[in-house]
Chains A and B, each alone.
Chain A
Amino acid sequence: MRSDVSDLYQEMILDHNKRPRNFQVLENPSHEAEGYNPLCGDRLTVFLNVEAERIAEIGFQGSGCAISRASASLMTDAVKGRSVGEARDLFDRFHKMVTTPPEYAVEDMGKLSVLAGVREFPVRVKCASLAWHTLKAALDRDGGTSTE
């Protein structure tokens, strides 16, 4: 089955690319990590303020393609206010969603499901997951990540 590019570039993705949410630097974040995809040069930094095991504030900065930027924006909305445990759980579920071959059904993840379309575009999966890997690295406090 053929998928059209509009399956990938859905309205919500284009909107988050054009007007990314939480596109900000946090002063004195409790957690921070930089993510880099050497394949395409996409680079982003995720900032977190974790208070009592809850993500009180989140921001990101960086440059990249529409998919990586929209994914980062959607991610920040999805994890803001959640506990660290819930954020890690979302990471696992998101990762599973974008790496499941397109012929298999995947869990409905609400807004995040707009990124399930990358499964039809294998080289773009890394774009969609860069922000999430960076979030995980920030929570693990290992300072940097790369999707390579």
Chain B
Amino acid sequence: MTPHAARGAAASRIDVGRVRADFPILRREVHGKPLVYLDNAATTQKPQPVLDAIAHYFTACNANVHRGVHLLSQLATDQYEGARDKVRAFFNARTVREIVFTRNSTEGINLVAHSFGGRVRAGDEVLISAMEHHSNIVPWQLLCERSGARLRVAPIDDRGDLLLDELDALIGPRTRIVAIAHMSNALGTINPVAEIVRMAHAKGAAVLLDGSQAAYHMPVDVRALDCDFYVATGHKLYGPTGIGVLYGKEALLEEMPPFLGGGDMIRSVTFERSTWNDLPHKFEAGTPHIAGAIGLGAAVDYITAIGLPDIQQHERELLDYATGVVAGVPGVRLIGTARNKASVLSFVLDDVHPHDIGTIVDREGVAIRTGHHCAQPVMERFGVPATARASLAMYNTREDIDALGRALHRVREVFA
């Protein structure tokens, strides 16, 4: 037993054994070893109720939404719009008019960069941070190229914490939008986003929060945060791929022009002119990912039933334990040691390249991510070409972490 096993031995408030039983994939083996899935920051596994909801839609209700008068279309529409209301409640938005289904967070950010970005002019500024995922960098670079605006970047320190004073100083009279990760995918840092929103609003800038990583680790209340936009992706919320969410304040979404044009987003079409549908449909052109939305609805129901505060507590204890185990492997250097972080353990090991670590631990049944995590500027900031990253979810256990520890010792043996 490692010394860490004794620490924080208080029983977790969620019954992990029961949670694990809900995730069929956790029963499979890889390379003849039990699967130890620690790549949750890339995507989470799906519980049975999500799989059942998707299967039920296709086997019993499949039809297009917002169209036919027939029963199936009505059932599909009810489920699709019902999922929207579940997502609204999950993020505590005021109305479903503020919940737009997208493909993923990336599409949500692009939607805002295009539609809200239409008001950005030459000489204006867009502020992001040095810890953003490429998806919260590139859409803004494209906007700046189109508009002649300037992209500014708030720096981070050696622990991976945002330098708040510097961020505040970078918000100027020309700053139109501040786009910041609620939580970093490469470092695990949780940013003080409510404070950032206050700083930005004090100077008249709008705020988009990228909740891709945060939304499945902690309760998110968009009204309490007072952010203007919040994006999240379904497949990290224990739901399917291809479905995401954009929350936007109703008044802003009302003023904004459509992003994509097509069916469902219009009220009327003539060759002379078309008029737009009401919110949120104005931003949902074409047949949506109906099954995905229904699956996401089931996923947020599942998360809510387990309880995000308890999930957060469980993951916090486990991250503490994992940090001890991984940092205890000789030669390990942790990348990302912010004061407030969740789920993510990025690290390098002596001069062993992360890809070699990834291959060797995979053969021990342990799935982790290796590479630049779509955050090349973060890698550059810490002077590493890549890291190995273990990331936790509600179903992970100390046994998973112990397996990771043993696999890392195996890496050391191979490269001894």
Taking Cβ atoms with an 8 Å cutoff, the residues of A that contact B are: 2, 4-6, 8-9, 14, 39-43, 63-67, 121, 123-124, 127
Contacts and interface: CB of A to CB of B under 8 A. Distances in A.
A43 B356 CA distance: 15
A124 B359 contact: yes
A4 B363 contact: yes
B386 A66 contact: no
Contacts of B370: 40
Nearest to B33: A2
A121 B414 CA distance: 16
Given A64-B353, A66-B353, A66-B356, A5 B414 contact: yes
Contact of B371 (A4, A9, A40, A64): A40
Contact of A9 (B354, B385, B386, B414): B414
Contacts, number: 48
A40 B356 contact: no
Contacts of A63: 385
Given A40-B386, A63-B385, A6 B371 contact: no
Interface string B215-239: 0000000000000000000000000
Given A2-B31, A66-B352, A121 B415 contact: no
A9 B386 CA distance: 20
A8 B31 contact: no
Given A14-B415, A66-B352, A8 B386 contact: no
Interface string B358-400: 0110010000001110001001000001100000000000000
Contact of B355 (A4, A14, A127): A127
B372 A41 contact: yes
B47 to A, nearest CB: 28
Contacts of A5: 359-360, 363, 410, 414
B173 interface: no
Contacts of B3: none
Contacts of B385: 41-43, 63
A67 B358 CA distance: 13
A9 B371 CA distance: 19
A8 B353 contact: no
A2 B371 contact: no
B32 interface: yes
Nearest to B357: A65
A39 B371 contact: yes
Contacts of A8: 359
A127 B379 CA distance: 20
Contacts of A123: 359
A5 B356 CA distance: 10
A127 B415 CA distance: 18
Interface string B324-367: 00000000000000000000000000001111100110010000
Tell me if A's interface is mostly helix, strand, loop or mixed. Answer: mixed
A58 B317 CA distance: 53
A2 B379 CA distance: 34
A105 B386 CA distance: 34
A13 to B, nearest CB: 10
Given A43-B385, A124-B359, 12 more contacts: A2-B32, A5-B359, A9-B415, A14-B415, A40-B370, A40-B386, A41-B371, A41-B372, A41-B379, A63-B385, A64-B353, A67-B355
A64 B363 CA distance: 21
Contacts of B31: 2
Contacts of A67: 355-356
Chain A to chain B: the 8 pairs with minimum beta-carbon distance, closest first: A65-B353, A65-B355, A41-B385, A5-B363, A66-B356, A5-B360, A9-B414, A65-B356
14 contacts: A2-B32, A5-B360, A5-B414, A6-B414, A9-B356, A40-B354, A40-B371, A41-B386, A63-B385, A65-B353, A66-B352, A66-B356, A67-B356, A124-B355
A127 B370 CA distance: 14
Nearest to A6: B414
Nearest to A14: B415
Nearest to B363: A5
Nearest to A69: B353
Contact of A40 (B355, B360, B415): B355
A83 B31 CA distance: 43
A53 B410 CA distance: 46
Interface string B25-38: 00000011000000
A127 B353 CA distance: 12
Contacts of B410: 5
A54 B356 CA distance: 34
Nearest to A8: B359
Contacts of B352: 66
A9 B358 CA distance: 13
Contacts of A65: 353-356
A44 B137 CA distance: 27
Contacts of A9: 356, 360, 414-415
Contacts of B359: 5, 8, 121, 123-124
A56 to B, nearest CB: 31
B274 to A, nearest CB: 41
B149 to A, nearest CB: 28
Among B356, B360, B363, the most chain A Cβ lie within 10 Å of the Cβ of B356
